[in-house]
Chain A
C-alpha cells in the first residue's frame, strides 16, 4: 500500500475519530460523574442522526449546523431523563442501573425501527463530492467540516469544565461526591446538567455522523460499545482521553478495515479493549483507580 493511500486512510480514520471522540466525551462525562453505565448511549446517538436527517429532509438544513439546535434539544432531554428516570437509580446495584438503561435502549431502538424501518438512509449533501487536495491527501469537505465542528465542540467543553463555576462543580462531584455535597453543591442538579451535557455531545455527534454514514437503527448497539471502548481506552475521568481514544479507535478502525476487511474492524477495537482492561485499566490518560 502506498504512503499516499495509507495517509488517506489515516486521515479518514482521524476525521471519524474526532466525531467518535465527541460521542465518547458524552459518555465519559455521564459515566465519570454520575457513575451510571449508559447502555443507551448509542441509541441516543442514532436518534441524533435521525433528527439531523429529518431536519435536512424537511428544511435542507446542513447537519453540521443542525448539530447546534440538536445539541440544545438533547441537553434538555438529558436533563429530564436524569431527573425522572436515572435519579431514582443512583446508588442502586450496578446490574439494576444496567437493566434500566438496557430497557431504555431497547425502547428507543425499537421505536426507531418502527418509525423508520431497518434500512439505511443516506442524505445527499450538496457538497458531498467536494474535496480538498493537500499533497497526497484527498480530504472530503464534509469530513473536514465535521472534524472542525467536533473539535470546536470538544474544546468548548474543555473550557466549560475548566473555567466555569458549574463545570468546576461538576468535576468536584466526579472527584469526591461526599466532599462536594458537604461544601453545599446541589448534586442532584449538577447530575442533571451533566446528563444534559452528555446527551448534547451525543446528539451533536450523531448529527455530524450522518454526513459520513447512512443512518440505520442497527448502528446503535455498535456505537454504545464503541463509546465504552473509547472511554476505557482513553481513561475514565479524562476528557482529553476521550478525544485521544476516539481518534485512536477511528484510525484503528480505518486502517484495519482497509488492511483486512471493513466488517472486521470492530474486532480489533475489542481486542484493544481486552488488552487495556487487562494491563492498563485506567486507560491511556486516566488516573490509577
Chain B
C-alpha cells in the first residue's frame, strides 16, 4: 500500500482571499451561461448542479462526520412526495411545502438516528439500517393510493408562457438557477462547516469516536445533528426532483439505486472536502451523457451500457485514487489548503 495515500486534510477550502474570488467568478460565469447555452446543455448542467447539491448533503454526514448512510433516497423521496401531494391536493405552494418535506425527512432521520446511535448500531450495520428504512418507505408508498401508488404521481404543467416561481413551474431556465444556487450554497456551507465548531466535532468523531468523547464531545448529540441536517438538505433535492420532472414513482424515488447514485460524485471527487462533490458531479454527469451518446452511435444502445461504464469508472477510481480527485489535485499541485 503506498504511503502517499494518506489523505491531507484538505477541506477544498483554499484558505485565502484568492479562493473566495475564484469561487465568486465561477458563480458569475455559471450565472450567465444560459445566455448562450443550448437547452440540452442547460439540462446537463441542471443534473450536474443537482448531483453536486445532493452530494454535498450526503458529504456532510459521511465525509465530515463519518456516518455511512446508504438510504438517502428516503429523504429525497419524502422531500419529493410531500410537497408534491400538498401542491396537487391542497394547492400549497412548493416554496412552503418544502418545509413540510423537510420536517418529515428530519422526523424519520431522528428515528433512524435514535435507533442507530442509542443502540450502538455502527458501520455497515448502520448502513443496512438506513437501507431498510428506505426500502420500507418504497414498498409503503407503492401501496398508498392517494400518493399514486406504483402508477406514479403526476404534476400537471401550466402553459409554457405562464412560468411561476411560486408553483415552481417553469422550464429548464428556472431550475438552472434553482439548482445552481442550491449547489453553490451547499458548497459554501460545507466549506464553512469544516472550519466551524461543529465541523471540528464531526471530524473528530469520524477519526476516533472514543478519543473525541474523552475531549468532551457528546457523540449522540453531534451525530443526531448531522443526520438531521443532512436529511433536511437532501429533502430539498427531492423537491427539485418532483417539480422539475413533474412525475414521481416510488420505485424511482426511494430505490436503493437512487441512494447509490447520489454518493458516487462525492466519493470520486473527494469525500470530506467542499470541492469534492462539485468536481465529482462535473466529471460524472457529462461522462454519463457521453456514454449514452457513444452507445447510441455504436448502435449498442442496450440498457446497461451506461451502468457498465459507470461501474468501471468507479472501480478504476477506487483502485487508483481512493481518496478522490480533489485530494490528488491538492497533492499534485501543492495547493495550499491547510491552516
Contact = CB atoms under 8 A, between A and B. Distances in A.
Contacts of A110: 304-308, 311
B256 interface: yes
B128 A277 contact: yes
Interface string B90-132: 0000000000000000000000000100011101110111011
A14 to B, nearest CB: 23
Contact of B139 (A107, A112, A267): A267
Nearest to B140: A267
B133 A103 contact: no
A278 B318 contact: no
A221 interface: yes
Interface string A247-275: 00000000000000101101100110110
Contacts of B325: none
Contacts of B260: 102
A278 B132 contact: no
A76 interface: no
Q: How large is the interface on A (under 10, 10 to 19, 20 to 34, 35 or more residues)?
A: 35 or more
B307 A277 contact: no
A102 to B, nearest CB: 6
Contact of A94 (B119, B123, B139, B143): B123
B188 to A, nearest CB: 25
Nearest to B257: A221
A229 to B, nearest CB: 8
A225 B257 CA distance: 12
B135 interface: yes
A232 B128 contact: yes
B319 A88 contact: yes
A114 B140 contact: no
Given A102-B260, A113-B303, A281-B121, A266 B139 contact: yes
A92 B312 CA distance: 20
A106 interface: yes
A37 interface: yes
Nearest to B315: A103
Given A37-B124, A221-B257, A114 B304 contact: yes
Contacts of B150: 263
A107 B316 CA distance: 12
A148 B108 CA distance: 43
B124 A98 contact: yes
Interface in A86-136: 88, 92, 94-96, 98-100, 102-107, 109-114, 117-118
A263 B150 CA distance: 11
Contacts of A106: 307-308, 310-311, 314
B307 A113 contact: yes
A228 interface: yes
Interface in B245-298: 256-257, 260, 267, 271
Given A107-B311, A221-B256, A277-B128, A270 B135 contact: yes
A270 B115 CA distance: 15
A107 to B, nearest CB: 4
8 contacts: A99-B267, A106-B308, A107-B307, A111-B308, A114-B300, A117-B302, A118-B303, A263-B139
A-B residue pairs, 6 tightest by C-beta: A113-B304, A110-B307, A106-B311, A107-B311, A103-B314, A110-B304
Interface of A: 37, 88, 92, 94-96, 98-100, 102-107, 109-114, 117-118, 217, 221, 225, 228-229, 232, 261, 263-264, 266-267, 270-271, 273-274, 277-279, 281
